[in-house]
Amino acid sequence: APPAGYGGNGGGGGGCPRGGGDMSPTGKQAFVVDEPVDINAGDYDKRTALHLAAGEGHADVVDFLCKKGANVNIEDRWGGRPLDDARRRNFDECAEILERYGAKSSVKKHGTDYKSSSNRERSDSASSLDNDPNMRIDFSELEMIDKIGSGAFGEIYKCRWRGILVAAKCIKSAKIVKEWRAEKQNGDAATTNNNNDNNASSPAKSGGGDDTDMNESDRNMALADFRQETAILRKLRHPNVCMLLSYSTTEDFEVMISELMKCSLLDAFRANALHNAQMSRKRQIVYAQQLAQGMNYLHTCRPPIIHRDLKPANLLIDFSGTLKISDFGLAKIRPDPTKTEKEAFLMTGETGSYRFMAPEVFRHEEYTETVDVYSYAMIFYYLLSGRAPWCSLNGLKAATKAAIDGERPYIPREWDARLSALLKRCWDENHRARPSFEIILKELSEYSRDVLKQSADQVVLPDEKGCNCAIM
């Protein structure tokens, strides 16, 4: 889904691979056959390929994994087993296959019944709404104005809510999206007819085909991202994090209301390229500082939050020129807050956008929150150079160049030595050598003070022109 608050063209130099939920059965089987992997390996929530296949009704994949020796009674983080997933979704064929291989249902853990990740998150969301009625959406207060963006699974609408303009992020298959589309189409048709009263040969504007239908796998993925994003955003309050104002988790009316933003950093980059312009060094450093401020807040939360999908398309700029982090659909809360930032843990590999993806993520290795520092380095390079890292390559080839070939973008000799050194440390191959965002902020503040003669607290540039982006 596109970032909440803005619906730009997305991109950012690469696709957004996920955790296998939308892979075809043939693709899954080929992956197991061709790659030397642990068939019982789990993601951050200890959910294995067998959990996913059983929970999505892929009977042929379930049978294939069982034949290959997958543990049919393996448990996820909440004690759930593949058979539980199959039965909960009424996938009888998957359940029968699992039982033939000796699968059993989970037992009670710590005096409570097993809850799946998705059910637990739904319960958490409902509980939060009950406890905080101010976060509950009253749809009579929400007036749709216009669609301002869309992605694979979601759409963004500009709306009026409680007297202010906001952005409403919806799952594409939700009933409310279809209602808003129909409302918009009827309004456009009425306007067209009024304008063409004297021209009988001009047909009314057509709304085009309906692309709101999604297959079950895609819808489940979109819902999981939506629940993940609301679960995290509702707890966050920081000037450099896009603020969640309200949301609904009611089935077919899943909507997330956030502050309306002007554009994304990617839009600013594209506008500069179109006008053959370059951001001033002050603006480059201010954006780098604002991003580091937001990330330092996330990494110092208790427990820390890892974004995992930092890219220009997910960094939004408000009407005062402040950069804010958005799109927490792939974010993860670190499982053990007592661990130091140097300790690694296993989460789903190859998550995020390729061009800005840390090498260890691309290689499906264990990683820490320093993956965000690597992504930050690539964005900082983009800010300083005005060009995407390896802009002549597609995202996958760029990630391969970094993760497999061990290369990094070229740094011109004329760049400030301190900024060049900071970049190199942030994208260091050894994730333990990468600095924390607290250190990054300190070094950027020193640079601003010494070179730009600017206070560390100066984060707005009223004397400069805008970011060159345009609202269409």
Q: Which two tokens stand for residue 203?
A: 């047909």
Amino acid at 122: R
- How open is the CA angle 273-275-281, to the nearest 5 degrees? 70
Joined tokens for residue 383: 């800010």
Token pair recorded at residue 228: 């993940």
At 56 the three-state DSSP class reads helix
Q: Was 169 annotated as part of a binding site?
A: yes
CA 384 to chain centre: 24
**Do 49 and 70 meet the contact criterion of CB atoms below 8 Å apart?**
yes
Q: Which residues contact 350 (CB under 8 A, 6 or more apart)?
A: 17, 357, 361, 362, 364
Residue type, 169: K
70 contact partners, CB below 8 Å, separation of at least 6: 39, 40, 48, 49, 50
Question: Measuring CA to CA, which residue among 382, 387, 352, 384 is closest to residue 367?
Answer: 352
**Closest among 308, 388, 400, 297 to 43, alpha carbons compared:** 308
CA separation for the pair 160, 283 (Å, rounded): 31
Measured distance between the N- and C-terminal CA atoms of the chain, rounded to whole angstroms: 21
Give all strands (DSSP E) within 319-374, no chain letters: 323-325, 332-333
**Structural contact between residues 299 and 372, judged by C-beta atoms closer than 8 angstroms:** yes
- Other Cβ atoms less than 10 A from the Cβ of 345: the count is 14
Q: What is the DSSP string of 191-217?
A: HHHHHTTT-TTSPPPP---------HH
Q: What is the token pair recorded at 21?
A: 């939920």
Between helix 59-67 and helix 49-56 the angle, nearest 10°, is: 150
Closest CA to 425 of 405, 446, 443, 413: 443
Peptide bond into 337 cis (omega under 30): no
C-alpha distance from residue 195 to each of 131, 185, 191, 198, 199 (Å): 49, 15, 6, 8, 8
- Rounded Cα gap, residues 422 and 444, in angstroms: 9
- Sequence ranges of the binding site: 169
Binding-site residues for ATP sit at 169
